A and B are shown apart, each in its own frame.
Chain A
């Protein structure tokens, strides 16, 4: 009886071993992470914002690969091979696609430079301006003399 029980346990262990080896105890990425990185090809939103059949199919694929301990990079590479680069929410940072990363940065830097230059020019222009004379325009001698006479007449 004991021998039979031991045989059953041994057989179960032998059968379970490959399954245990195939299972991934420490996944290297998560579905929630990849759902934000991968696009639904039919609805053009990320997977986490789509409930279309195509999106669900890709989620299923990702789940299976996560369970096999695939990294996010490896899963994304497999998806790109199947669907093309457009499957990724973010464009690749190599080749011509790198422009998608650098152009916005160049735009912001260029805008900041133009703004700073404009402010600098404006402040320099203000420094060169003559402050207005508090006493007003200078009068010629004759007018000043007549004004003094008039003011003296008022006293």
Chain B
């Protein structure tokens, strides 16, 4: 094999290895873990579940926010729906906005869920999960974030808010952001 051909083959092999390494680095740096309490809540814009416009998190700056990730196929989500609705009616005129993000779900089933549980707070849809898993690192629903008026996360409840471990924490966080 001529020296030039050999050099070309070696450069090609090096380029392949470099490409694979770049892919590995990209994958590692683009993995999204759940944002930590005390950090800024990742921004997003999502369509409303009813299909009437969009809501962006940035537009809600200045209000306390309860961000609840759910899906109609999720059993524990049914259990916490009534609690969320009750807290929403109690807190929405105290400067706290509840936002539901429906993820990996059929819109029609999600709308039935909202109607069946008589949920009146704004609902957004994230069918692809780009915000839910991509920005908030949610792997199992339900999960709830409580965000203060400056956009800082004050509580992250990775499970139903009705769970004994989270109920008191949720109420404390609500009082903090109200």
Contact = CB atoms under 8 A, between A and B. Distances in A.
Interface of A: 41-42, 53-54, 56-58, 61, 82-84, 86, 114, 121
9 tightest CB-CB pairs across the interface, nearest first? A84-B128, A53-B73, A41-B104, A57-B73, A83-B127, A82-B127, A54-B73, A54-B104, A42-B104
Given A54-B71, A58-B106, 10 more contacts: A53-B71, A53-B73, A61-B106, A82-B107, A83-B127, A84-B127, A84-B130, A86-B128, A114-B9, A121-B1
A53 B75 CA distance: 9
Nearest to B16: A107
A57 B103 CA distance: 13
B33 interface: no
B104 to A, nearest CB: 4
Contacts of A57: 72-73, 105-106, 109
A151 B100 CA distance: 107
A85 B38 CA distance: 34
Best-buried of B9, B106, B109 by chain A (most CB within 10 Å): B106
Contacts of A86: 128
Nearest to A58: B106
B129 A82 contact: no
A41 B75 contact: no
Contacts of A42: 104
A54 B70 CA distance: 12
Contacts of A54: 71, 73, 104-105
A3 to B, nearest CB: 44
Chain B contact residues, majority secondary structure: loop
A121 B6 CA distance: 12
B24 interface: no
Best-buried of B1, B104, B129 by chain A (most CB within 10 Å): B104
19 contacts: A41-B104, A41-B129, A53-B74, A54-B71, A54-B73, A54-B104, A56-B73, A57-B72, A57-B73, A57-B105, A57-B106, A61-B106, A82-B106, A82-B107, A82-B127, A83-B104, A83-B127, A84-B128, A84-B129
Contacts of A114: 9
A22 B86 CA distance: 41
Nearest to A55: B73
A122 to B, nearest CB: 9
Contacts of B1: 121
Nearest to A114: B9
A61 B106 CA distance: 8
Nearest to B141: A42
A55 B159 CA distance: 21
A129 B74 CA distance: 74
A20 B130 CA distance: 41
A49 B90 CA distance: 44
Contacts of B75: 53
Contacts of B74: 53
